[in-house]
Structure 1
């Protein structure tokens, strides 16, 4: 399929011009499109969470079902009925996967949608594209079974053309979704949780995912953009066509254009290639994520019959063990983190703004790289990474042939891995943010003969579709194979371009001695070892980055980062309410920084000094935390009831000394207590006021930080991330609710119920907080604060105008806020 000019792949350098399939209004290009080929199919579905006989039938009566818009995740919704205290919102003691998926319920659900074709749509080639359905979906059109798709994270589509009724007649799409058994190690969500699209194409048109854009040359003075696009002619006639290619700047100005005169084979596909030179290009990088727009057209007999519009970025990537990773010749150290796909209180739903905000939060806290653990992300997530300058490891699978859970993907792997891997690479290969493919994570058979053979096949398949990127995998130590030593991992690394290792920084230097050409990165690491991991990245060019587990908290894998007295113990099965969040993220599920994020700011030189106070520990005991956890620390000097008792204060800094003051009086000046952790430890009797730490280097103060005792809760303050949002179901406003004292200071230990009401052009989509064991409904109009905060997410309902949000809590001044939907 790919011609010889795509054999430009070299061991150390590869170049790519990438794009996102964003469909812009054609007027932005100064032309009118004859046909919009990809239309949202999200609105007005019928849904019921139950199994039904014959619900795929056209005559099935679905009038009593709920009407919803997609994307939709039924696992985040409040459970129906009452079971005493065993059900709390969406959480149930009877959850089959228990803490692994956050104590939520799966089950079987049905979706149905009625639609009619317009007269102008007759004769089109019509398909339906699902971006993601969790999991095991079956789809019918007008009673005709189209197929089954088991994997919950890959896109898929079906041709509807031959099964549709004439224009004006009712058609019915029916989708059965089965999330059954123990099939995931984290919160997956359930249902059609990503977007659905109706694709209408002419008899001569571009194929889906058939356009690939690369460059044989990237230079600041002149770059060559090379388009390869596939055109399908389903008619029985050979057609003479003109394929046009035009590149525009993001401001709309024309940069360059060209065309190809060609013959399109009858009843077949034609692959066409066109190179265009871009003078003085604006290159894409994490620091400057410049994007271009392109317009690709098909004309026959002077008539414009189809158009594909897209956004792309130009950039060159080089990587080797001698010089490390470079983008456009500039070295990049990957400040990375693993990120699961859920969106906190929204569940797994892919609302475009939720995906974008997640990337914004991570970027604002120093991350420049994300590993999409342990499955391919939504296209909207990658669009946000393209736009904001976040590089991505795009990961395919968490399991291959050997199971991690009884009902997981291993049941389908043999039949489906090639189809699923192809769809991932074809869809995502043109995003400039994607710099590596990952074929797996902690695979049981990773270093065995069958696993190495599989990895070799996967790498070969990936490079047959995209020869421009390196391939990696998250390889862990052999805790799942007792007695096997780390050296055996060499087998797993043989097929890979980049050796991704989980929690193995202590082996980097010895491995380099044995394998000097090996490129390494930490695909997972513990937050508490951030300084040790980052030291390896800074010292050694062959270690190109570190990805903490995790960048942001997520639902499921409940309490893997937790604290205990004296020893870390498993969470008791009888504990209820229970943890439902992992509690291991640098940021919590609402996007608020946790103590380890402030520590990482020091490690990454984003901050000179940070401070945290350890919660009081009962006499005779000590606080112990899990490998993924963090000391029970808080950025707070509110410890009422502990007056005169010693509290442990940890100051993080790379300076020579730290001086600590309480209420203006010097308490102590110390050198570093734990150099590996950049930690200065102090024991201070608690007295209210202000505790202040000064960073001292060469006997000069180079930085300071402080914590103050604040007053009692007095009022609520509402702050929106955006006061104006678009009239789109894909837009959101995230509104922080804070408990303040009389001096407008956050009360960091405030836990209290808040009531909400809303009026106008939006609804409350969800309410949540960062409490890892604070099980509550995300949909009811009341919610507790945690550490003085909670978060309300507002979503437009389909009209423009004002939105008024009001909050009340007993004894406090209410909070109110107006936003505009436009």
Structure 2
């Protein structure tokens, strides 16, 4: 068997406009090319993109050597409603945008001659997603050449039978009889299931759009692992194969999720009309992809499906669970249920309904929020307690208990205030915080240490993402001229790690809550402290780890200290400005006045012994444009991530510096350029970016040269850097 990359030498064009075709390599996201327009049907879901349909073509020669072999194409993911043609003959269609599919082209090829493969992707049927989906062949494509007698694709299954004394079973499905040799190449340490310190993530890769580059997926998992997480939830669709490989290699557990809806539409043209008809083949595709990956700890059948408050939905919940058990009897099954929303739905006030999905399209031009947008806005105004307190109502238990009984692990979205009650009432129930707020981390950890039936927590979200704009943003007028979440808003603004991969103070808080770090400091951006900002329930704080706010001397701000301590003291330029005791949390907030110099926090035990301390210093006066590759050497198959930062000579970030940066690249292709700002009017495909709190990011695909050189110029300074190519 031979597996060959089928990712090069394609052309792409907006469907019906072949005269404007351009060359592309896969993975490719055509949605990045589309115009953003106020009033577009995609609205806040995709960031006001007027999404189009795109066609991909590839001309290739089928060698005479291929005769007698079975030739199969594997598409890892096409968004969405894909149709595949070979030499103008339609071969198949595949509607779900997040599962892979095989196309047997054996009997359709012209051997010794050119063949034309064409793939169409429909995405003009907006709205069809609650987040940025991307358009087209956004995951890799492979060509398999198989002899007549062969092991079936995805026909090898490895099952762990015991882990204390390691024992596995290997099953092989083939097209004929023969001998199969199984070789165990490396023995690893026994794998045990932790308590899950998890993060929810969407499938996009920030300024690269939906493109599932291997290196981008690996980097995302690496950043989350470095941030203290040991598990991710693929919200709300099956993850890529590249992400599974990254999780295996880095030791990150995966909860792979099927869908965001069952039979009630959340957006007018989403997959709700097809779930009940196609869930068996969809779940099989997900399990076939996942089965041999040790990182996959459990499956999730859905997210905030208010169907679970109805008899029909409860029955479907059980069917989905049973189907997954049949396909894979080794892994538990959950489903993320928003407990409070289930109650509202049962009372006729549901977040989602077919009527509201239809109404959302009509209201897009009027900027009138309905469905999830309305409730997200309400949660932003009411704060994080809104859903958590609502979940404690008695009817919320009544409207979720039957669905929870139809799964192996009960998935609680924003239901942490129910944990203690439900653990007593349902002694057999396992509870998973399938979606939680950042501010819940300390409470979860303290509860989980005392009760092993609370098996984990997945914060919304681990890393910021495109679409669902403004839902988690805490933005000031300086960076967002309006808080309407209209055109110009491109990201959710939520994430313990921002869109470019920068760890925020919230991540430090989380690591302290999980007892992985002893102390951290966050500073409310001094120039904007006290100003009105966009509201969000999904942002605990917008504090950043910086004391470089020259020109703001004498201005009031707040400094947050994260520590598990009896008491904490804060010092500005050596003078103590206050001492506080944490109250049922590991976060204390000091009102203070900014002065250039330093801020230092010290955590003490009950005997005044120093547990830990941390200091931030003001950057020097001279400004440098630092061009900082994340890796000094990469292979030709990897990507170069390059941070662009305004710093002092020592590399200390200067978050008050702002300005456009123009980037040029030699020895590679600039794939994406942008900042982490949730409000961003430029294109990520351009060569000019604004900075956000002093920095931006460039992503480069290496060429065939021995090195890549990056040049950056701004009105404040200029800089350059080189990256070696292995």
Scaled by the length of structure 2, the TM-score of the pair is: 0.89
Q: Does 1:740 align with 2:664?
A: no
In the other structure, the counterpart of 2:182 is: 245
Q: Does 1:226 align with 2:169?
A: yes
Structure 2 CA distance, aligned partners of 1:447 and 1:587? 34
Q: Does 1:347 align with 2:213?
A: no
Rg comparison, structure with higher value: 1
For residue 811 of structure 1, report the CA deviation from its aligned partner.
3.4
Q: Check conservation: 2:346, 2:399, Cα contact below 8 A.
A: no
Number of residue equivalences: 672
For residue 819 of structure 1, report the CA deviation from its aligned partner.
1.4
Structure 1 residues 241 and 723, CA, compared in 2 at 3 Å: closer, same or farther? same
Within the candidate set 50, 55, 60, 2:15 is matched to 50
Q: Check conservation: 2:306, 2:337, Cα contact below 8 A.
A: no
Q: Deviations over 1:209-255 (max 9, x none)?
A: 121111333334xx33311111014xxxxxx5222222223xxxxxx
Within the candidate set 609, 618, 623, 1:700 is matched to 609
Q: Does 1:173 align with 2:117?
A: yes
Q: Does 1:612 align with 2:522?
A: yes
Q: Deviations over 1:387-418 (max 9, x none)?
A: 00000101111111111111000122232211
Q: Check conservation: 1:713, 1:739, Cα contact below 8 A.
A: no
SS of the equivalent of 1:446 reads helix
Q: Check conservation: 1:562, 1:630, Cα contact below 8 A.
A: no
In the other structure, the counterpart of 2:381 is: none
In the other structure, the counterpart of 2:26 is: 70
SS of the equivalent of 1:473 reads strand
5 Å-filtered alignment, 1:168-567, equals 168-179=112-123, 180-220=125-165, 223-233=166-176, 241-249=178-186, 281-283=187-189, 285=191, 326-327=192-193, 332-479=194-341, 480-481=344-345, 483=347, 484-563=395-474
Structure 2 CA distance, aligned partners of 1:724 and 1:406? 46
For residue 470 of structure 1, report the CA deviation from its aligned partner.
0.6
For residue 605 of structure 1, report the CA deviation from its aligned partner.
1.4
SS of the equivalent of 1:199 reads strand
Q: Deviations over 1:257-284 (max 9, x none)?
A: xxxxxxxxxxxxxxxxxxxxxxxx4236
For residue 743 of structure 1, report the CA deviation from its aligned partner.
4.2
Structure 1 CA distance, aligned partners of 2:178 and 2:523? 70
Structure 1 CA distance, aligned partners of 2:89 and 2:547? 65
Structure 2 CA distance, aligned partners of 1:599 and 1:775? 31
For residue 727 of structure 1, report the CA deviation from its aligned partner.
2.2
Which runs of no fewer than 5 residues in structure 1 stay unpaired? Answer: 1-34, 53-61, 80-89, 234-239, 250-280, 286-325
Q: Does 1:141 align with 2:86?
A: yes
In the other structure, the counterpart of 1:262 is: none
SS of the equivalent of 2:439 reads helix
5 Å-filtered alignment, 1:62-141, equals 65-77=21-33, 79=34, 91-141=36-86
Structure 2 CA distance, aligned partners of 1:696 and 1:434? 40
Q: Does 1:681 align with 2:681?
A: no
In the other structure, the counterpart of 2:625 is: 716
Structure 1 residues 214 and 704, CA, compared in 2 at 3 Å: closer, same or farther? same
Q: Does 1:817 align with 2:681?
A: no
SS of the equivalent of 2:325 reads helix
Structure 1 residues 622 and 487, CA, compared in 2 at 3 Å: closer, same or farther? farther
Structure 2 CA distance, aligned partners of 1:619 and 1:710? 20
Scaled by the length of structure 1, the TM-score of the pair is: 0.78
Structure 2 CA distance, aligned partners of 1:348 and 1:564? 25
Structure 1 residues 404 and 514, CA, compared in 2 at 3 Å: closer, same or farther? same
Q: Check conservation: 1:556, 1:582, Cα contact below 8 A.
A: yes
Structure 1 CA distance, aligned partners of 2:511 and 2:575? 27
5 Å-filtered alignment, 1:624-703, equals 625-672=535-582, 675-697=583-605, 698-703=607-612
Structure 2 CA distance, aligned partners of 1:548 and 1:45? 39
SS of the equivalent of 1:661 reads strand
Q: Does 1:41 align with 2:6?
A: yes
Structure 1 residues 676 and 218, CA, compared in 2 at 3 Å: closer, same or farther? closer
Structure 2 CA distance, aligned partners of 1:284 and 1:182? 46
Which runs of no fewer than 5 residues in structure 2 stay unpaired? Answer: 348-394
In the other structure, the counterpart of 1:805 is: 710
In the other structure, the counterpart of 1:297 is: none
Structure 1 residues 192 and 641, CA, compared in 2 at 3 Å: closer, same or farther? same
Q: Deviations over 1:772-792 (max 9, x none)?
A: 112321122221221121111
**If each structure's helix is expressed as a fraction of its own residues, which one has the higher value?**
2
In the other structure, the counterpart of 1:768 is: 674
- State the Cα RMSD in Å: 2.2
Q: Check conservation: 2:504, 2:543, Cα contact below 8 A.
A: no
For residue 677 of structure 1, report the CA deviation from its aligned partner.
3.5
For residue 636 of structure 1, report the CA deviation from its aligned partner.
2.6
Structure 1 CA distance, aligned partners of 2:528 and 2:74? 57
For residue 91 of structure 1, report the CA deviation from its aligned partner.
3.2
Within the candidate set 671, 689, 697, 1:783 is matched to 689
For residue 621 of structure 1, report the CA deviation from its aligned partner.
7.6
Structure 1 residues 40 and 685, CA, compared in 2 at 3 Å: closer, same or farther? same
Structure 2 CA distance, aligned partners of 1:177 and 1:418? 23
